[in-house]
Amino acid sequence: MPSYRVLDQPALIELADLRGWLESVPSQAVTDLLPPVAVSDASRVVRRLPVVELAHQGSAWIRLPEATVHGRNFSLIVEDCIFPGGLTHSFAPSPRWQAADGGRVSYQPHTGGRPAVDGAALLGLVGHWGHFFVDALDRLLAMESSGAQPSALLVGDPDLFGLAPQVDECFAVPQVSGLIRALGLTWPPAAPLLAVPKEGDMAVTGLRLATLRALKPSISASSFLEVRRRLGIPDQRILPQDGEWVFVGRGDVRKRLVRNQDAMIAHLQSAHDVHTVFPEFLSIGESITCFRQASRVILPVGSAKFNLLFCRPGTQVVCVNPRGYSELNGGVTLMVRHMCHALGLHLHFYDVAVEPSRMLLNSNLIFTLEDAEALVRIFDTMEAG
């Protein structure tokens, strides 16, 4: 069985440069210094996350003479290496790879006897709201600016996360398709969309690839700001009294459930006139309007965080995390910090009790009315506008 080295995106750029596959060189990396962020809980004790330095850069265009796209995690098999591809931002080894000596993995690609696709470009996962922003947005904007005309666009299996019933004819969840159109991009594109089966592989000759501008824990700040510009989100800062107070509920989800959510919603509405929204049930136009008008947002951690792109600068955000997660200052926490810093939003983390899971981030959140009142008090301590 073949064995491969598992490498990262910078290593792919280096290999492409060595082989003469690099069509454009990425711009110099840009460094962001994230300021300290407060963390608290119902005890009212406030801690602070330290200053962190994050880097991101421009996209490089690569043309790979031969590559195999692995459907399970949308990675690329090139020569004797496996590189992250469509899921680069949160790359994880495929469960179908077998550990081998020297840090390598053994795997036999399964192309099902299908002929190689020629001249396609890798787009990434559009069938999941969160992964679209970190895995496909950069590439859409890069293809538009380059004028590239691939024979097809490769997207993730619509059932990669068990979301097949929710995707449309473009293999995307409707909110993603709506956002792409709102950005002024043609969708579906002129090139056909090809979904890579999650239980198989796809051989491609002449594969075009735009690398991502940022790897976790960074976000693609320039792409996110371009989204705001195209959607006409005002640059003027919003003051707390000039907008609405929004609690982001969690409805159609399979993990990170919010326990006691109905009681929480009822109390916030009756006692503090806080409006609840469920982004997964809104059209993209409704989401843009809702978050553009919000001046205070309570946000349980999850993919709904990318709706913060539609907020005006100055919006106050309290992100609710599982107890103990904020101070790990891990990937998702840093993504939220980077996003709020890049967009000019004021951020505070709040920890609640959890029903533990194997992965702390995926634990169910347990809200109490004491938490509701503590969350309300936090906004009085945050910087105004």
Q: Which two tokens stand for residue 78?
A: 């090139």
Instruction: Note the pLDDT of residue 89.
Output: 81
* Helical packing angle, 174-182 and 284-292, nearest 10°: 70
Q: Helix, strand, or coil here: 285?
A: helix
Range of the domain at 207: 3-24+59-213
Q: Let me know whether 177 and 249 are in one domain.
A: no
Reduced to 3 DSSP states, what percent helix, strand and coil does the chain have, rounded to the nearest 5?
Answer: 30, 25, 40
Q: Is the peptide bond before 217 cis (omega within 30 degrees of 0)?
A: yes
Q: Which two tokens stand for residue 295?
A: 């001046």
Q: Is residue 220 part of a domain?
A: no
The length of the chain is 385
Q: Let me know whether 247 and 119 are in one domain.
A: no
Q: Is residue 119 part of a domain?
A: yes
Q: Is residue 227 part of a domain?
A: no
Q: Let me know whether 147 and 9 are in one domain.
A: yes
Q: Which helix (H) or strand (E) holds 245?
A: strand 244-248
Q: Let me know whether 295 and 192 are in one domain.
A: no
Report the distance separating Cα 260 and Cα 266, nearest Å. 10
- How far the first Cα of the chain sits from its last, in Å, is 59
Q: Which two tokens stand for residue 341?
A: 């810093």
Q: Let me know whether 84 and 129 are in one domain.
A: yes
Report the distance separating Cα 84 and Cα 92, nearest Å. 8
CA 119 to chain centre: 27
Q: Helix, strand, or coil here: 115?
A: coil
Q: What is the mean pLDDT of each run of 10 residues along the chain (385 residues)?
A: 93 96 89 95 93 89 96 93 86 90 93 92 92 93 90 90 80 95 94 92 96 90 95 95 94 79 94 94 96 97 94 97 92 95 97 85 89 94 71
**b/e sequence 92-106, b meaning 16+ C-beta within 10 Å:** eebeebeeeeeebbe
Question: Which of 263, 354, 350 lies closest to 44 in space, CA to CA?
Answer: 350
Q: How many domains does the chain have?
A: 2
**Is the whole-model pTM more than 0.95?**
no
**b/e sequence 351-367, b meaning 16+ C-beta within 10 Å:** bbbbeeeeeebbbbbbb
Q: Is residue 74 part of a domain?
A: yes
Q: Let me know whether 209 and 245 are in one domain.
A: no
Angle CA 146–151–157, to nearest 5: 100
Report the distance separating Cα 16 and Cα 213, nearest Å. 17
Would you call 33 exposed, middle or buried from its count of C-beta atoms within 10 A (0-12, 13-18, 19+)?
Answer: exposed
Report the distance separating Cα 179 and Cα 181, nearest Å. 5
Residue 279: DSSP 8-state: G
- Chain position carrying tokens 């991009």: 185
Q: Is residue 193 part of a domain?
A: yes
Q: Let me know whether 85 and 200 are in one domain.
A: yes
The enclosing domain of 374 has a CATH number of 3.40.50.360
Q: Report in angstroms the alpha-carbon separations of 33 from 67, 129, 223, 334, 338.
A: 37, 27, 18, 11, 9
Q: Let me know whether 134 and 181 are in one domain.
A: yes
Q: Is residue 113 part of a domain?
A: yes
Question: Which of 78, 101, 105 lies closest to 4 in space, CA to CA?
Answer: 105
Q: Is residue 14 part of a domain?
A: yes
Q: Let me know whether 205 and 278 are in one domain.
A: no
